Amino acid sequence: MRLYDAHNHLQDSRLDAVRPSLDASLRQTGLVEAVVNGSAEDDWAAVAALARAHAWVRPSFGLHPWYVRERGPGWLEELRKHLLTFPSAPVGEIGLDRWIENPDIEAQTACFQAQLDLAVELERPATIHCLRAWGLLEAGMKSRPLPRRGFLLHSYGGPVEMVPAFVKMGGYFSLSPYFGHARKAAQLATFAAVPLDRLLAETDAPDMWPPDDLNLEPLNCDGKPVNHPANLRVSYELLARARGMAGEELAGHIELNFRRLFG
């Protein structure tokens, strides 16, 4: 099958141990393209370097809500420079997060809106992270222009009832291997309600590893589990199970969806 990873962080140092063999191992899994997301100013250069080194990497640049407190005064202009350097790069990972300790929601919202506006201006899709802020996200997006190409709600864990509203706005929804854990059964079931033309798969590697019985590439860093990006196949298998579809048929739809959103 031809596989597409809609969201990961392959620049993360936790993957350094497998980096020399990463290109070969991912090609063996059937990977065609992967969107590698920057999260803060200090990793955008690493994302750019991966894109220059590997034809299958599509870089993406954004300020993640976890790092808004550390942003520099010229962060938005620096982000614009990276996006202009890579004309096919989406804006992301951006978003809102009330799960972290003492979240500065006002700063998160300002940064999110500025980046969403930049995506609209440059006609790029956006990749959005959201935890415990779904109502705020929906309300904020309803009140402003959105990227013409659409946006990705990565590792979507929001209410199934909100899927139609996000679809109407241009949303796509991706699933990670982590949804194979039993405690994520409700979130996995939500993907049965997502329109077939809005489904995508992701790894979020090196985070969001699958349960042991599904883990195709067990990996540890300093004694802690790490999600190998080859586990993308797990995401496809979980989606196929949730949809009651053959894997090859599902992969064809995901390829079309990936191209429609990212180009």
Q: What's the pLDDT tens digit per position in 11-48?
A: 999 999 899 999 899 999 999 999 999 999 999 999 99
Q: What is the DSSP string of 52-90?
A: HH-TTEEEEB---GGGGGG--TTHHHHHHHHHHHSTTPP
Counting runs of H as helices and runs of E as strands, what totals does the chain give? Answer: 9, 10
- Strands 57-60 and 91-97, bridge-based pairing: unpaired
DSSP 8-state code for residue 211:
P
Distances (CA, A) of 69 to 129, 131, 261: 17, 17, 30
The 3-state DSSP class for residue 204 equals coil
pLDDT value at position 18? 92
Q: How far is the C-alpha of 247 from the C-alpha of 171, rounded, in Å?
A: 23
pTM, 2 dp = 0.97
Q: Which of 256, 258, 232 is nearest to 26 (CA)?
A: 232
pLDDT value at position 143? 86
Say whether pLDDT at 188 is over 90: yes
Residue in the structure block whose two tokens are 């993360």? 12
Classified by CATH at the fold level, domain 3-262 comes out as: TIM Barrel (3.20.20)
Please report, for the chain, the start and end positions of each structural domain, with discontinuous segments joined by +.
3-262
pLDDT value at position 4? 98
The tens digit of pLDDT for each residue in 198-251 reads 999 999 999 999 999 999 999 999 999 999 999 999 999 999 999 999 999 999
DSSP 8-state code for residue 216:
S
Radius of gyration of the chain (CA): 17
pLDDT value at position 243? 97
